[in-house]
Each structure stands twice: as C-alpha cells, then as structure tokens.
Amino acid sequence: VTEGPGTADSETLATLHRVFGYEAFRGEQQEIIDHVVAGGDALVLMPTGGGKSLCYQIPALVRPGTGVVVSPLIALMQDQVDALRALGVRAGFINSTQDFDERRLVEAEFLAGELDLLYLAPERLRVDATLDLLSRGKISVFAIDEAHCVSQWGHDFRPDYLTLSLLGERWPDVPRIALTATATRATHEEITQRLRLPAARHFVASFDRPNIQYRIVSKADPRKQLLAFLREEHAGDAGIVYCLSRNSVERTAEFLTANGIEAVPYHAGLDAGTRAAHQSRFLREDGLVVVATIAFGMGIDKPDVRFVAHLDLPKSIEGYYQETGRAGRDGLPSTAWMAYGLNDVIQQRKLIQSGEGDEAFRRRAASHLDAMLALCETVRCRRGQLLAYFGQDPDPAGCGNCDTCLVPPETLDGTVAAQKVLSTVVRLQRERGQKFGAMQIVDILLGKRTGKVIQFDHDQLSVFGIGQDLTEAEWRGVVRQLLAQGVLAVEGEYGTLVLTGESGSVLRGEREVPLRKEPKKPAAARSRSAG
Ligand code: ADP
Ligand code: ZN
C-alpha cells in the first residue's frame, strides 16, 4: 500500500516509534490497528506475549477521545497505568480499590478529554452512574481484554462480561475490539455471539511455536529420566521444571543440585523473600534451573528459557500450552519435555472426583483432562493435536519436530490385553467392600504372589498369571491407556479401578482397542540425532 504522510498508516507507525520506542509492528498488529482506527470491530486471538495491548492502545492514541479498556485483572491496573504514564500516555483507571476522591479525579480527567486510556473493571458497567459518565465523555474505542471470560464454559467465566453486549447498542459508532489468548473455536463463537460482534473481523494469530520440540516420554523413574534429558541435551541451559506438589518441587531441586545441576525451588509455600530471590536469579543468571509448581511463570518474560519439563501431568491443554510456551521466546530451538505415567492419570482423575465444584464443573474438568490425555497417548503429530485443539488446521504431513514425528510409535491391537485387564477388574469388583487399584491388577496378571495377592486369595482367580506375555511396564501402559480412553475408570480415594459404560463392548469383543506400544526401556532422549 502506498500512502502519503498524514494518513492513518504512517500515524500509527509514528506512534509506535515515538510513544513505545519500537521499530516495527509484529505479526498482524498493523492490520488489526488499521482496521480499528478506521472504525471496524475486531476479535483478536493471540497467544500470551504476542503483543495484544498495542492493538488497542495505538487506536486509542490515534483516534479522538478516550479508549475504554475493560479488564478483569484489577490487581494489574495500577501497574499498567503506571507503565503507560511513564511513556507519557495519559492513562487512568476506575475500580474498587480506589477511594472516592481518586475516582472523582479520574472521572474529571475523562470528562475534560484529558485521558487517552481509561481502564475499567467489568462490574463497573453494571452501574448506571458509570454508563452515564461514559455517555458524557468522548470514547475512541472499547477494548474488551480477556474476552474469553464471557464464555460460560470456560474456567474464567465472569457474569459481568455478559453485560458488555450493551456497549454496541449504546455506542454503535464506537469500534470494539475483543482480545483473548485462550480460545478454542467454540469459545471464539461464544465471544462473537455474547458480545454481539457479528460484523467483527477475526484476527487469529497462529498458536504454533515451531522452535519448540514437543516430547512426552513414558514415566519410569522420572527424576533420573529428567537428569539424563538435561545432561544429554540441555547441559548449562536455563529452564523450568514443573511438579504438582511443593514436596516434589523441593525434592527434585535437591536431587538436581546433588547431581551437579544448579536448581532452585519455587512454590507458594516459600516465603515471599525467597521466592523473589529465586525468581530474580532465574531472570539474571545464565543456566539456572527453577523447579516449580504452576505458581511460577505468570509474567515471567525471559527470552532464553531453553526447556520446560513436566514431571506431572498438567490438568488441561491450555495449561500445558501456557507452561511450555515459556520456552524459546527468542525463537531458538527449545524443548518441551514431559514424563507421564499411569499414576498421573489416576491422581488427576481422583483430584477431580474429590475436588470442589458442582457436577457441571467436574464434567468440564474431566473433559479438559481427557483432551490432555489424548495428547499424551496420540500416535500422531503432537503439534498437530495441539493446534487442532486451538482450532487451527495442522499440517497433515506432521511437523517433523515432535517425538511422534521423529520416532513414530508402534501401535498394536490391544483388544486381548484390554479384555484381560477388564476381566480381572470384574472379578475383583465382585469382592464387596474390597478396593483394589492398578497395582493389584497388574500383580495378578503377572502371576506375582505378593503379600496382598496371597491375603485375598487372588492366586486362586482364573485370571491369575494370564498376562505373562507382557512386562510390568507394558501392563501399566495398557491400564493407563484404558483409563485415558475411558474404557476403565478410577473411583474413591484409593484409586479403585472400575468398569465404565464402554467396558462391555470391549469385553464382548465388539470393538477393538488400539494401543500405543510401550518402549521396553523408556528412552530419555531418543531423538537427539534427528535434531
Ligand atoms: P499480550 O497482552 O499479548 O500477552 P503484550 O501486549 O503484553 O502481550 O506484549 C508482550 C511484550 O511484547 C511486551 O513486552 C510488549 O512491549 C512487547 N511488544 C509488543 N509489540 C511489540 C512490537 N511491535 N515490537 C516490540 N515489542 C513489542
Ligand atoms: Zn509432529
């Protein structure tokens, strides 16, 4: 496009240079900004760190009037406004943390046309006084941040977001831009509908992170597997190791340190001073490893994180994507590595059952977990599965940079193995009042006369020893995959295995059960040669 000086195009670029000090727009920023400056509505899906803020900040600066930003992150508003003011942008906010005088001051600035940007908490828009205030000033653009909060099925649902549909009715001439980082195709449609943005242009940035290599290995001795992975592929590199519990964070950090890898723990149980010290060491030093719970990472912007490792299964693909996304922000090759096993499935299923929340909440949590498990068990391209989850069309030929592309896993017909497991579960279920988990099932199949097997006469069962064709690791893999596929379920605090509605058809031989073949010896780093 050839446009002369004074057009919107050069004005936005000039604003980018002058106010923010950046060289050039990134990705689709330019197109989005031009569209909104010209008065169009927009729906922007961009991963965290993609640069969403500029997409409404620059239109707010270029168009006459004040840009009104609706955001649920009240705790961040003060910081956001301070940062903008430091750049010379006239910004203010109205939320519940302010006293009366502070609010009056911001309101006066807005009415006098002295604000470029006004941040509002969504609940403010339920109040008539706020709507009156807005009608008495001049608004350049409405930005609705974290727009997925309007989705009733998302985990961040905010009822107040439903009221935002009125913005379009009351201010039909003011462009609206809705932004989010975590949207599946379904959420996407919900945002368009509930915010009444039928004419909005959609800007969907790619969720692909091509420089991140995705790998998920079968869990045997996770700390040793992690150590081998770090020594062979990431010696001296900075990275993050995620664990579920504070206890395992502590022990993993000690284990790595004892084995010559400098590692510090980070979790909510540490005092604020220690946490801050470990975080700032991670940001400052080269090659430090942080072992952390998911409490670590929000707002961490370190470009050269070379690996993110998971020793426990994340609860959802959204979580996995966000955590692994902290690797390789500089675009250089990085690894997302995870060790995953039977106990992860059992533990997560138990957590959902014993956790808080109503039935609908549980169902949602279970479906998030199912999607995560499907990613772990897939025999196809992991990146393809991730992108499809976020509604993007993956390359049907595979990505060439994930473990299943690099070393395609073998599959086998697991129908007979599945029937052996299910028949054992059926027999144990008949013993009323007794609860047996995966361990006991596997011991029975292998024909092991353990104390617990003898105690309950399980060596007398017809299924005792019928599974000697597979190893213990392979049986654990079979049970894990049956749990992941929903052919088997866990119940209660001991993780008792029980049948599901799907079990019958497998037992009767009416359907096949394809299984991913377990490696005889879990390989920590099989794909180095391909990299
Ligand atoms: P998001 O809201 O999508 O998570 P931000 O708007 O916070 O992302 O931007 C992430 C980081 O990228 C910020 O530090 C921001 O200043 C920087 N950034 C955004 N756009 C550009 C650009 N065009 N050039 C350089 N840095 C940018
Ligand atoms: Zn792939």
**Smallest-distance ligand from the CA of 26:** 1
Output the CA 530–ligand 2 centroid distance in Å: 13
Ligand 1 atom nearest 23 alpha carbon: 24
SS3 assignment for 149-172: HHCCCCCCCCHHHHHHHHHHHHCC
The pTM for the full model equals: 0.72
Above 90 in pLDDT, residue 270?
yes
For the cut 50, the answer to whether the pLDDT of residue 529 exceeds it is no
Supply the mean pLDDT for the chain: 89
- Exposure class string for 198-228: b at 16+ Cβ within 10 A, else e: eebeebbbebbbeebbbbbbbbbebbebbbe
Give CA 221 to chain center in angstroms.
25
Q: Which atom belonging to ligand 1 lies closest to the Cα atom of 29?
A: 23
The protein residue with its alpha carbon nearest to ligand 1, atom 18, reads 51
**Ligand 1: residues whose CB is within 6 Å?**
22, 25-26, 29, 46, 48-54
Reported as a single tens digit per residue, the pLDDT across 240-269 is 999 999 999 999 999 999 999 999 999 999
Q: Which atom of ligand 1 is nearest to the CA of 50?
A: 3
As a whole number of angstroms, the distance between CA 452 and CA 440 comes to: 8
Q: Residue 299: what pLDDT?
A: 63
- pLDDT of 440 strictly over 80: yes
- Percent of the chain scoring above 90 in pLDDT: 66
User: Closest by alpha carbon to 324, among 232, 405, 216, 228?
Assistant: 216
The arithmetic mean of pLDDT across residues 44-67, rounded, is 92
**Residue 334: both structure tokens together:** 């990085």
Can you tell me the distance from the alpha carbon of 275 to that of 278, in angstroms, rounded to the nearest whole number?
5
Instruction: Report the b/e string of 506-526 with b at 16+ CB within 10 A.
Output: beeeeeebebbebbeebbbbe
User: Ligand 1: distance of its center to the CA of 53 in Å?
Assistant: 7
> pLDDT tens across 451-510, in order?
999 999 999 999 999 999 999 989 999 998 998 888 998 887 778 899 999 999 999 999
- Each residue of 125-184: pLDDT tens digit? 999 999 999 999 999 999 999 998 888 766 678 889 989 999 999 999 999 999 998 757
Residue type, 321: Y
Please report which ligand is nearest the Cα atom of 47.
1
Ligand 2 centroid distance, CA of 406 (Å): 7
Give kind and range of the element (H or E) at residue 210. none
> What pLDDT, on a 0 to 100 scale, did the predictor assign at position 508?
94
Lowest mean pLDDT among 145-149, 295-299, 304-308, 499-503: 295-299
Based on C-alpha coordinates, what's the Rg of the chain? 27
The residue length of the chain stands at 531
The pLDDT, as a whole number, for residue 49 is: 72
- Please give the pLDDT value at position 320: 94
